A and B are shown apart, each in its own frame.
Chain A
């Protein structure tokens, strides 16, 4: 057994490592470098043989074969920069989740690596930021994401090293409906189009008959949907624009980008 003095020294040494650095600003406390923290976890998973490959499946539910390696030139591609690399590119599945809750109330941003056995265990996820607050409205969230958004952009551009080979990051957004709506600049459940994934309208009305004919309503429980991704993402996938804006134009950015 090590002595208390040695344990304290080891603790100091660990706390001084760049991946464990914490920054504090007026909004809250957050990780100084998200890329380093994620890379450390991924490297630990690879070394212990616990890195699990996650697949993207085709129409016939067969895993898409990954043949492309992330190169320096690929990092500037819109797909890679937006966390949506081609299905045949080697990638790591990463979730970014945001939620307000707990007692004392605070907004927490949690980053998860899906390429492991139990990604939902808090010991296997990274607490990226804690913002003590009573409300998570648009303005509050904007100040919180100011520090995190550039870190995520850097992570997507830089990718992650897995067994010495660079991989792209496939980014998933998670959280409860209210938090997702705030992050994406969506009006929420009372909006004309309340769904974050498709363009279905909320309820039948005479004024919206044209929209209903085109996109269906939430109450129609059969038939294919007009997905936001097919009509909006292609036009919205420019840097600084969200692919899932509320108005269907794809012109709304995340809160921190609207500054």
Chain B
């Protein structure tokens, strides 16, 4: 069996996770560059609080303690909140550059993750935006290294989209979803050994395939499609809106754990950013000596 490199799917989910995480580190690096390490640490703690309170996301215990896919999209959609937080911390030059980086990434992110065929205009725009994003990052933030993920985004994502019309359709979301389903069903199929449990799960899933969407439409009762916008909140006092929801009592231990996780995330973020900026400063010194 051989594999054509043109048919190796661009790892869109992991690019999204990687770039999103890198942008949060980049914000801290900019603060350290402009105002020093202490200001950087202060900023990371403010950032963790902002992401929790305003954006409504918290780091997970897997994926290296970062944010999962849906959270990455939420952070991207509310990137203006992060830029606002940076307003007093950065020089105008860095602030404008950072804001533009988010703007370009948000445009790329939406097309990269969309599971639908793109139009010719969209493919052209995606190629231009991906190139502009990576060249902008490299020029505006000289300490930033092009990782294999950014390289894939710059050089191969647009080609894949041009050849097959979409990247999102071919993504790795399905595999990640199966991990979740397997974990949720672990107790149900708990047998003598891990192998026996896996086999029981596989047998059950093989039967579940018989009740998939395409079969159910043949034999199941037809349902009317929902009227467009019927499930959206239209009134100001609608309880589906976040500000109108009643406060759910939170377990104290859980709140304490979340607080500790956020603190650890902020400290780790600061450490990574400090290392990168220190290495960059050292490189600049060596270059001046030479």
Contact = CB atoms under 8 A, between A and B. Distances in A.
A and B interact = yes
B156 A218 contact: no
B158 to A, nearest CB: 11
Interface in B173-225: 173-183, 186, 194-195, 197-199, 201-203, 205-210, 212-215, 217-218
Contacts of A171: 3, 7
B1 A195 contact: no
A22 B189 CA distance: 15
Given A106-B182, A110-B174, A243 B3 contact: yes
A151 to B, nearest CB: 10
B156 A197 contact: yes
Given A177-B148, A221-B138, A15 B203 contact: yes
Given A114-B170, A118-B115, A121-B174, A37 B209 contact: yes
A200 interface: yes
B135 A236 contact: no
Interface stretch (B26-34, B161-169, B241-249): B161-169
Given A114-B169, A254-B1, A11 B202 contact: no
B199 A196 contact: no
B214 A120 contact: no
B5 interface: yes
B3 A127 contact: no
A175 B117 CA distance: 21
Interface string A12-53: 001100011110100011110000010011001101101000
Contact of A108 (B7, B145, B151, B182): B182
B263 interface: no
Interface in B32-68: 62
Contact of A177 (B131, B149, B178): B149
B277 interface: no
Contacts of A170: 7
Nearest to A228: B5
A123 interface: yes
Contact of A101 (B135, B176, B201, B215): B176
A243 B9 contact: no
Interface of B: 1-9, 11, 13-14, 62, 115, 117, 120, 123, 131, 134-135, 138, 145-149, 151-152, 154-156, 162-165, 168-183, 186, 194-195, 197-199, 201-203, 205-210, 212-215, 217-218
A160 interface: no
A146 interface: no
Contact of A61 (B162, B182, B183, B194): B162
Nearest 3 CB-CB pairs, A to B?
A102-B179, A132-B194, A82-B2
Contacts of A236: 2
A126 interface: yes
B148 A174 contact: no
A225 to B, nearest CB: 5
A121 B186 CA distance: 20
Contacts of B155: 195, 197-198, 200, 225
A172 B6 CA distance: 9
Contacts of B218: 44, 47-48
A54 B168 CA distance: 13
Contacts of A68: none
Contacts of B163: 56-57
A21 to B, nearest CB: 8
A55 interface: yes
Given A44-B215, A197-B155, A229-B4, A24 B14 contact: no
Interface string A182-193: 001000010000
A195 B151 contact: yes
7 contacts: A82-B3, A83-B7, A99-B175, A106-B182, A173-B7, A174-B8, A237-B2
